[in-house]
Amino acid sequence: MENLLALLDTVLDVTVMTLALLILLGLITVAVLYVIDVTQNTQAIRKNYPVIGRLRYVFEHLGVFFRQYFFAMDREELPFNRAQRTWVARAAKRIDSTVAFGSTKPLNRPGDIFFLNGAFPPTKEEIQAHTPAPIIFGERSVANPYIAPSLFNISAMSYGALSGPAISALSQGAYQSGIWLNTGEGGLSPFHRQAPCDLVFQIGTAKYGVRDEQGGLDVAKLTELAAIPEIKMFEIKLSQGAKPGKGGILPGEKVTEVIASTRGIPAGKDSISPNRHPEVTSVESLLDLIKTVRDVSEKPTGIKFVLGQTGWLDDLCAAIQARGIDSAPDFITLDSADGGTGAAPQGLMDNMGLPVAASLPLVDAVLRQAGLRDRIRMIATGKMVNPAGMAAALCLGADVVCSARGFMFSLGCIQALQCNENTCPTGITTHNPTLQKGLNPTLGHSRRELCRLNE
């Protein structure tokens, strides 16, 4: 008994000593921070409210998460609100995605789209019996036209912006669902080829993957890529909705050895693409580049852009008519001003370019007027993550719809808005192996139910 009491005494002494030490350490830390804060001259809040002023930064950071979980209403958040994200997450996991009681979407805002239901809708069996016409790319311009097996596909996201496991999951999911995966501007990585899915190879302004030493087009590399049967089409990127006028940005901390070798650039340094293909200065030189890529690859070749000024489209149509209809791009991917990205300046993200709901009917009308609408396929991108978004795009003039962030949600993205920081908590946009552990490509690829949008 005495021994037990002595032991208890010792434990108590040690606990009290530890506590006293911790308090002392705490006080010393506060004192040091106090001195640092009052002697610095760069932040007013810390100078006027030493130590406690620092909490502001902690709360600012935590606010992003608290708002999402506790305070924001179902339809409030941007870029995607909880109702949209939840639908995708549930559909991807094949959990019941019906909702109860009534719509939480206000139906009285300018620009709202309403579908007009018919009095006698076709039955499910009648819909299933109807075979839609196939969407063919490059039907008359190339030796290898592409018959797209799906109206809904995965939009460009580079290996670099996305992690290896995320691209692997998308590749396997695309293969199982029979949809295409666009490589994005970072070249073709081994992760894109995890499964033999259809691929669209994107040629960005830095021409990663098909780049010669001066940054121009390396025809030999293009020929090698064109021989890969999974690569069905080539897309020349002129601009992107989230950052028109600016090339791709991959911060140095995300440029790992594998990414560097895929792109043909040094590891650890920022990977910045130019804001324009250096050789494309006019509609004529654009048609020249399209011709080169198509002639070398013998595969359908198109362009991607977000529409801003519109006059050049008339010039493009006139130049196509002068050269002959075969010179036209086989497709146009029209991105939306509110499209996503791995990293972009906020000024461009917020203020530049037209949303696809406005630009799609416009481009469609210009092509129709020029008699080119049947020749050029239209692909639309921009926040079409739910069936209504996709249906609206098809009604407004698209032949095919692609989504980027929709597929990120299906992989488990929680919209933490950290794609530019290598700290993505779900492993989708980080190259930190510890954070990537949470993303299981085998589970991720099976979450392809988002493709139900096709139905």
| 77-106 residues near ligand FMN, rule: CB under 6 A | none
Binding mask 39-78 for ligand FMN (x = CB under 6 A): ----------------------------------------
Stretch of residues binding ligand FMN (CB under 6 A), selected from 86-94, 142-150, 265-273, 333-341: 333-341
What pairs with residue 250 in β-bridges? 271
Q: Out of 263, 383, 445, 447, point to the residue binding ligand FMN (CB under 6 A).
A: 383
Torsion of CA 399, 403, 406, 410, to 10 degrees: 90
Residue 316 interacting with ligand FMN (CB under 6 A):
no
CB of 173 to ligand FMN, least distance (A): 15
Residue 339 interacting with ligand FMN (CB under 6 A):
yes
Tell me phi and psi for residue 182, to 5 degrees: -90, 130
Q: Nearest Cα to 364, choosing from 340, 336, 395?
A: 395
Residue 277 interacting with ligand FMN (CB under 6 A):
no
- What gap in Å lies between CA 163 and CA 178, rounded to an integer? 22
Stretch of residues binding ligand FMN (CB under 6 A), selected from 49-57, 129-137, 205-213, 397-405: 397-405
Q: Nearest Cα to 238, choosing from 297, 198, 282?
A: 282
CB of 273 to ligand FMN, least distance (A): 9
Residue 158 interacting with ligand FMN (CB under 6 A):
yes
| 219-238 residues near ligand FMN, rule: CB under 6 A | 237
Q: Establish whether the linkage from the previous residue to 110 is cis, with ω within 30° of 0.
A: no
CB of 177 to ligand FMN, least distance (A): 16
Binding mask 190-209 for ligand FMN (x = CB under 6 A): ------------x-------
Helix 219-226, helix 283-297: angle, nearest 10: 50
- What gap in Å lies between CA 140 and CA 134, rounded to an integer? 15
Residues 6+ apart with CB under 8 A from 262: 159, 160, 186, 187, 188, 189, 208, 209
CB of 386 to ligand FMN, least distance (A): 11
Q: Out of 165, 247, 329, 340, point to the residue binding ligand FMN (CB under 6 A).
A: 340
CB of 431 to ligand FMN, least distance (A): 13
Tell me phi and psi for residue 131, to 5 degrees: -100, 115
CB of 419 to ligand FMN, least distance (A): 5
- What gap in Å lies between CA 92 and CA 416, rounded to an integer? 19
What percent helix, strand, coil does the chain show, rounded to 5?
A: 45, 10, 45
Stretch of residues binding ligand FMN (CB under 6 A), selected from 93-101, 211-219, 336-344, 363-371: 336-344
Residue 411 interacting with ligand FMN (CB under 6 A):
no
Nearer to ligand FMN, 50 or 248 (CB): 248
Q: Out of 84, 403, 410, 415, point to the residue binding ligand FMN (CB under 6 A).
A: 403
Q: For strand 331-335 and strand 301-306, is the pairing parallel, antiparallel, or unpaired?
A: parallel
Q: Which two tokens stand for residue 352?
A: 């530049």
Total of residues contacting ligand FMN (CB under 6 A): 29
- What gap in Å lies between CA 304 and CA 184, rounded to an integer? 11
The amino acid present at 205, given as its one-letter code, is: T
DSSP 151: S
Q: Which residues bind ligand FMN (CB under 6 A)?
A: 155-158, 161-162, 184-185, 202, 237, 240-241, 248, 304, 335-336, 339-342, 381-383, 403-406, 419, 429
